[in-house]
Amino acid sequence: MRRSFRLALAVLPSVFVLLATLSGCNTEEVTQGKKRPAAGGEDEKPRTEVPATKHGTIKGTVVLDDGFNPPAPKPIEMGANTSSCHAGDPTKEEVEDQTWLVGPNRGVKNVAVFVQPPQDMYFKIPEAALDKAAKDVQLEQPHCAFKPRVFTLFPAFYDRAKNDLVPTGQALVIDRSPSIDHNYNLLNASKPAGSNLAKGVGDPARVTGLLPQDRPITVTCNVHSWMRAYGFVLEHPFAAVTNEKGEFTIENAPLGAKLQLVAWHEAAGFFLKGGIDGDEITLQENQTLPPLKIRGK
Ligand SMILES: [Cu+2]
């Protein structure tokens, strides 16, 4: 029962966001702590800092839930694009369906895991963690798949004195194959700029100004309908994506204060939002979390 309740909690916020979006009644961008304050911040009370005692490394794994066995990856039907997309020695992942990538010990790849502050709170970003934004996030299309499939961005953080988001300068840089035409669209993003553009070789698109939001953006290519990437635009860098063994490491995570741990997978959605045993969790230094169990919807 406890688990079902937690799952319901996990799914509800995204359902509300979806409904609000579909109904067109809410055109404001939704940020993770709260809606973005109006210019000048008059309309919103400043948020409260999450009282982290220090910052440190958290590790964990995401594994298939007992009894859940997703289909194995199948080759993608590429039609007229088969020869161009198979040229140049692509990896298996680039020519097969990547929805469920299961590795040793049932570990699941491409799960986004990150923390979120409780309602009306924010994370103060330590200097060492701000450095993560110094490096842009690269999204490449060497063959006919985006690499990486799942990513996180840290383009802004909350500044309490300004009661507003402040850009970090980090951009999403989208590059393309030297030999295959692609374009890209950023669906569900806070900013349409950069959508549906074909970029020349050696002239990557540099997307800045994306606002933090609760649901992932989806990146698509019109030339190759199967191409997908998913990105979480966060207002902090305390995030990771699982590797081929299902492992993740969150560096400089806020420790010693209640927060939410969130895990998302493209076929499972938000399968964790809270803690392992409740709605919130307090992380400890060098903590290895119990395995996070995942199953399809
Ligand atoms: Cu493409």
Q: Output phi, psi for 248, to 5 deg.
A: -140, 155
Cα of 76 vs centre of ligand 1, distance in Å, is: 13
Cα of 47 vs centre of ligand 1, distance in Å, is: 41
Quote the tokens at residue 168: 């970090």
User: What is the predicted pLDDT for the residue at 42?
Assistant: 54
User: What is the predicted pLDDT for the residue at 292?
Assistant: 97
Cα of 244 vs centre of ligand 1, distance in Å, is: 24
Cα of 182 vs centre of ligand 1, distance in Å, is: 4
Cα of 266 vs centre of ligand 1, distance in Å, is: 19
Cα of 70 vs centre of ligand 1, distance in Å, is: 26
Cα of 81 vs centre of ligand 1, distance in Å, is: 10
Cα of 242 vs centre of ligand 1, distance in Å, is: 24
Quote the tokens at residue 245: 């063994």
Task: Please name every residue paired with 141 in a beta bridge, in sequence order, or none if there are none.
Answer: none
Q: HEC profile for the chain?
A: CHHHHHHHHHHHHHHHHHHHHHHCCCCCCCCCCCCCCCCCCCCCCCCEECCCCEEEEEEEEEEECCCCCCCCCCECCCHHHHHHHHCCCCCHHHHECCCCCECHHHEECCCEEEEECCCCEECCCCHHHHHHHHCCEEEECCCCCCECCEEEECCEEEECCCCEEEECCCCEEECCCCCCCCCEEEECCCCCCCCCECCCCCCCEEECCCCCCCCCEEEECCCCCCCEEEEEECCCCCEEECCCCCEEEEEEEEECCEEEEEEEECCCEEEEEECCCCCCEECCCCEECCCEEECCC
Q: Output phi, psi for 290, to 5 deg.
A: -60, 155
pTM of the predicted structure, to 2 decimals:
0.85
Cα of 84 vs centre of ligand 1, distance in Å, is: 11
Cα of 179 vs centre of ligand 1, distance in Å, is: 11
Per-residue pLDDT of the chain (297 residues; tens, 9 = 90+): 334 334 333 433 333 333 333 332 233 333 444 444 444 445 679 999 999 999 999 999 999 999 999 999 999 999 999 999 999 999 999 999 999 999 999 999 999 999 999 999 999 999 989 888 889 999 999 999 999 999 999 999 999 999 999 999 999 999 877 788 888 888 988 865 445 555 556 667 888 889 999 999 999 998 999 999 999 999 999 999 999 999 999 999 999 999 999 999 999 999 999 887 778 999 999 999 999 999 998
Yes or no: say if 266 and 108 are a contact pair by the CB < 8 Å rule: no
Cα of 228 vs centre of ligand 1, distance in Å, is: 9
Cα of 181 vs centre of ligand 1, distance in Å, is: 6
Cα of 117 vs centre of ligand 1, distance in Å, is: 36
Task: Please name every residue paired with 157 in a beta bridge, in sequence order, or none if there are none.
Answer: 166
Angle among Cα 245, 110, 112 to the nearest 5 degrees reads 115
Cα of 79 vs centre of ligand 1, distance in Å, is: 13
Cα of 80 vs centre of ligand 1, distance in Å, is: 13
